[in-house]
Amino acid sequence: MAGVSVQAFRRQGRRFGAGLVCSEMVSCAGLQHGNERTLGYLRIASDEKPLAVQIFGSEPEIMAEAARMVEDAGADLVDVNFGCPVKKVTKTGAGATLLEDPERACGIVSAVAQAVSVPVTVKMRRGLENGARSCLELGARLVEAGAASLTLHPRSARQMYTGEADHSLTTELVERVGVPVIASGDVTSRARAQAILATTGAAAVMVGRAAQGNPWALREIIEGDAEPPSREEVVAELILFMRETVKELGEKRATGFLKKFYGWYLGRGRFPKPFKQELVQLETLAEVETRLFAAAPGAADVLARLEAELPDGEDDVVLNLPISIYGGG
């Protein structure tokens, strides 16, 4: 979910019923060095709480200091990433690599848990290689080190997002540890979520890719409301997401960032395929908005209602950083 779980995405998830939302991965090295873009991940809005901020790194002391910064910013949980399979993360000794380095992994969790007063949670994969079971032994040790909860995505790092998540491993992990386990992977519908919860004994499910451009999936999973959104609702949510992202990232950065979301929102048979390509080729977000409103004129009324329901933001975290980076934040 890196490059997806911006503040606008998290706030939207909360509006559609998510009980807890999580930031994208935050580099501990970036926080340590005061990187402006990394510090921007600690910008927290009042209506996205409860919020977990996820950190990654390989050095216990640096992770602990980052965790303190996360707590000071107002996060309700500090989540430690031991699951990212991307090479630029694993080659630094962080992410899923730590599944095969239990001593360092436990040292990180212990250091982080001692550094903060909020709960510390861990997100894991099953292991580096297909068929690995590293998460089971390591999970129990992480709880001893101070983890208050574990999230398991039972694919290997090698699998990335191919194949199926093997939730028999989730069942085994639940049986081995005395803390809540959250099941992640292939949670795409209410029926699937109910089946995973019933067969694994997990305390909750985590939804990731299924909610990309599709917050209505959360409503269906939580409430069983399978009524598809109207074109007006889709356009209104997309434009609101665009406007909120501009506030966070600034116009220039948001323009490129948002292009991948057009297909996610407009797909699933909601709009003709060429429409997405048309939007991607437009140079400004104002042009994109104009074209979207033309395609669904009634979206303006839906958008006005959504914006009227947003909080005023008085309790948001405001960082003392350049306006050019964070669009006024």
Provide the annotated active-site residues.
84
Q: How far apart are CA 260 and CA 268, in angstroms?
A: 14
Q: How far apart are CA 90 and CA 93, in angstroms?
A: 5
Find, among 42, 56, 55, 37, the residue nearest to 10 by Cα.
42
For residue 162, the one-letter residue type is T
Residue 205 C-beta-side C-alpha neighbours within 13 Å: 26
Query: 205 with 187: CB under 8 angstroms?
Result: yes
Q: How far apart are CA 221 and CA 61, in angstroms?
A: 39
For residue 129, the one-letter residue type is E
Beta strand segments in the chain, E:
21-22, 26-27, 51-56, 77-82, 120-127, 149-156, 181-184, 204-206
Angle at 24 between CA 245 and CA 96, to 5 degrees: 155
Q: How far apart are CA 87 and CA 95, in angstroms?
A: 9
Q: State the pairing for strand pair 149-156/120-127.
A: parallel
Residue 27, judged by CB atoms within 10 A of its CB (0-12, 13-18, 19+), counts as buried
Q: How far apart are CA 52 and CA 49, in angstroms?
A: 8
Place of tokens 């997309």: 238
Angle at 181 between CA 17 and CA 83, to 5 degrees: 90
* DSSP code of residue 276: H
